[in-house]
């Protein structure tokens, strides 16, 4: 599988990457298996066509491109307790509501690996036997698509992120036959028809396309549909995050600090942003000075920087073997936000409008950027709405 190096983090300071400047956290890092340096690589292959998607998961590897073998989570990885503390979610309950995850291809050991992750962090078991976990294909059947290591790693990140954010939520995984928009969209429709589903996470993106062609797959009032804005910085609006029916989720760098909150957040340099050329702007966003004539992204955001805020994940390296690593990308932030919607229990109408009516219940991210843009707020974090982080990150579930 072809993989491209996105970020190299060898220490504190500023690092130029593909014409951007990435600010690295200066705090001393916990012991890490990446002793020879680390950088992030993409898990999934590039889209096969203009009407297909790639997953937005990034994995830290060492300077030889290898994930160090470890039987325990990387000490630098974000834990469930840390994530819930950062976003003030501790003690909130999803009350058994279901978060659906849509991804491509099969993952035979998903239930086993999810069990390892949840046991490691003291989360309640989530199995098919106890009714917490269900895995189906894009038409609702039980015959799994073929295995793909990259997309299976994506699924591991997604189920672990939902588990970390909302440990008592039920999880439905719908596996599409391929990464085409048609197959992934069919899986979203199937997910929307399953009982108890209040949110559907889509940690993938492709090019900017029209809701006239694909919007029917994502148009499900009463269900929060979240989608990653991508990991390439400012490059225009990726689909399905650019859909008028979806909550587009950007990304941040998240680090512990001595602030009252206990954490600091800046816009992540890889967080996708931009304006759709095709899809309608959200009416509720009209007063937020997005600078876009049509749909603007992102709407909200959460941790996505694989180096600073990346999660410790248990994921498959082959069809039969799995290990620990540190993951990030907007594939981390999209399932986090889907799970926060489940914690809120508030998904009436089109839930992507809800944060715009209560932005004061979010942590506003006001520093950092993902590039240089003709309209400043498309790339640079500021007070209020901006492209990389939207309106901000969860401060409890009150904005959702």
- For residues 163 and 38, give the distance between their C-alpha atoms in angstroms, rounded to a whole number: 26
Name the 3-class secondary structure at 24. strand
For the four alpha carbons of 319, 187, 200 and 173, in that order, the dihedral sign comes to negative
What pLDDT is attached to residue 230? Answer: 97
Token pair belonging to 5: 């190096």
Candidates 251, 106, 134, 121; CA nearest to 196 is 134
pLDDT of residue 66: 84
Would you say 264 and 309 are in contact if contact means Cβ atoms under 8 Å apart? no
Q: Under a CB-based contact definition with an 8 Å cutoff, are residues 222 and 197 in contact?
A: no
How far is it, in rounded angstroms, from Cα 256 to Cα 296? 30
Closest CA to 296 of 248, 346, 340, 235: 248
pLDDT at position 36 = 56
| Burial class of residue 308 in the structure, from the number of CB atoms within 10 Å of its CB (0-12 exposed, 13-18 middle, 19+ buried) | buried
Task: Provide the terminal-to-terminal Cα distance of the chain, rounded to the nearest Å.
Answer: 38
What are the distances in angstroms from CA 137 to CA 144, 264, 328, 357?
Answer: 6, 39, 25, 36
Q: What are phi and psi of 335, to 5 degrees?
A: -70, -30
Does residue 95 come out as left (phi exceeding 0), alpha (psi in the -120 to 50 range) or beta? left
The SS3 assignment for 172 reads: strand
Mean pLDDT by 10 residues, the chain (400 residues): 36 33 33 66 94 97 83 96 98 98 98 98 98 98 98 98 98 98 98 98 97 98 98 94 98 98 98 97 98 98 98 97 97 99 97 98 98 96 98 98
* Residue 57 phi, psi (nearest 5): -95, 140
The pairing of strands 274-275 and 38-42 is: unpaired
Cβ contact 95:101 at 8 Å: no
> How far are the Cα atoms of 45, 195, 278 from residue 116, in angstroms, in the given order?
27, 27, 43
For residue 24, what pLDDT is reported? 31
**Predicted pLDDT at 63:** 84
Q: Please give the pLDDT value at position 67.
A: 82
| The residue to which tokens 């297909």 are assigned | 52
Looking at the chain, how many residues does it have?
400
Do the strands 13-17 and 38-42 form a parallel or antiparallel pair, or are they unpaired? unpaired
Block residue for tokens 């309209």: 375
Q: Which two tokens stand for residue 306?
A: 């694989």
């Amino acid at each position: 599988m072809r993989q491209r190096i996105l970020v190299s983090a060898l220490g504190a300071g500023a690092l130029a990457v593909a014409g951007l400047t990435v600010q690295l956290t200066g705090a001393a890092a916990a012991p890490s298996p990446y002793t020879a340096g680390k950088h992030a690589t993409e898990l999934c292959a590039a889209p096969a066509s203009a009407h297909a998607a790639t997953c937005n998961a990034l994995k830290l590897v060492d300077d030889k491109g290898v994930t160090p073998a470890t039987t325990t989570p990387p000490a630098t990885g974000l834990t469930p307790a840390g994530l819930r503390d950062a976003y003030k979610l501790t003690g909130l309950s999803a009350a058994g509501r279901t978060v659906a995850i849509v991804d491509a291809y099969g993952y035979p050991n998903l239930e086993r690996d999810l069990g390892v992750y949840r046991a490691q962090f003291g989360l309640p078991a989530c199995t098919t036997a106890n009714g917490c976990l269900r895995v189906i294909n894009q038409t609702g059947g039980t015959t799994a698509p073929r295995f793909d290591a990259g997309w299976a790693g994506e699924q591991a990140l997604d189920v672990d992120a939902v588990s970390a954010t909302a440990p008592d939520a039920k999880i439905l995984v719908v596996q599409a036959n391929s990464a085409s928009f048609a197959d992934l969209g069919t899986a979203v429709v199937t997910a929307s028809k399953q009982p108890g589903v209040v949110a559907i996470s889509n940690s993938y993106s492709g090019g900017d396309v029209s809701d006239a062609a694909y919007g029917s797959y994502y148009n499900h009032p009463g269900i929060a549909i979240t989608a990653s804005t991508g990991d390439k910085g400012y490059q225009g609006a990726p689909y399905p995050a650019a859909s008028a029916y979806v909550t587009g989720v950007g990304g941040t760098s998240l680090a512990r600090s001595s602030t009252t909150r206990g954490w600091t957040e800046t816009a992540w340099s890889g967080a996708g942003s931009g304006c759709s050329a095709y899809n309608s702007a959200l009416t509720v966003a009209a007063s937020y000075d997005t600078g876009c004539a049509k749909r603007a992204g992102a709407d909200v955001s959460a941790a996505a920087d694989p180096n600073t805020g990346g999660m410790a994940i248990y994921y498959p390296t082959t069809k039969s073997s799995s290990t620990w690593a540190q993951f990030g990308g907007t594939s981390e932030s999209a399932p986090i936000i889907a799970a926060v919607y489940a914690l809120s229990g508030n998904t009436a109408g089109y839930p992507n409008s809800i944060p715009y009516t209560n932005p004061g219940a979010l942590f506003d991210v006001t520093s950092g950027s993902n590039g240089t843009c003709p309209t400043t707020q498309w790339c640079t974090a500021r007070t209020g709405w901006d492209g990389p982080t939207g309106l901000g990150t969860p401060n409890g579930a009150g904005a959702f």
